Amino acid sequence: MTKLPEIDVTTDIPGQIFGKFLEALGGTDISPDLIARLRKALLEDKTFSDRALKAAVLGEEEVP
């Protein structure tokens, strides 16, 4: 039986996805502040509620 090539195994698949996502955002014209807020929410605080994401994406001030 042929062995499969090893791939980067990580128990934190969400962390892997979030990391790549933030990296991809860095290559766009999305504001660095927004990316920093998302990084804090997803990787540091690990808060994924709608409210937390909204604060991260829209910033402190939402359009009324």
Note the residues at the interface with another protein (CB under 8 A).
1-2, 4, 7, 9, 11-14, 16-18, 20-21, 24-25, 28, 30-31, 34, 38, 42, 46, 48-50, 53-54, 57-58, 63-64
Minimum CB distance to another protein, residue 17 (Å): 5
Of 20, 8, 23, 15, residue with least CA distance to 45: 15
Minimum CB distance to another protein, residue 40 (Å): 14
Phi, psi of 51 (to 5 degrees): -65, -45
User: Are 35 and 22 a contacting pair, CB within 8 Å?
Assistant: yes
Minimum CB distance to another protein, residue 19 (Å): 9
Q: How far apart are CA 16 and CA 8, in angstroms?
A: 10
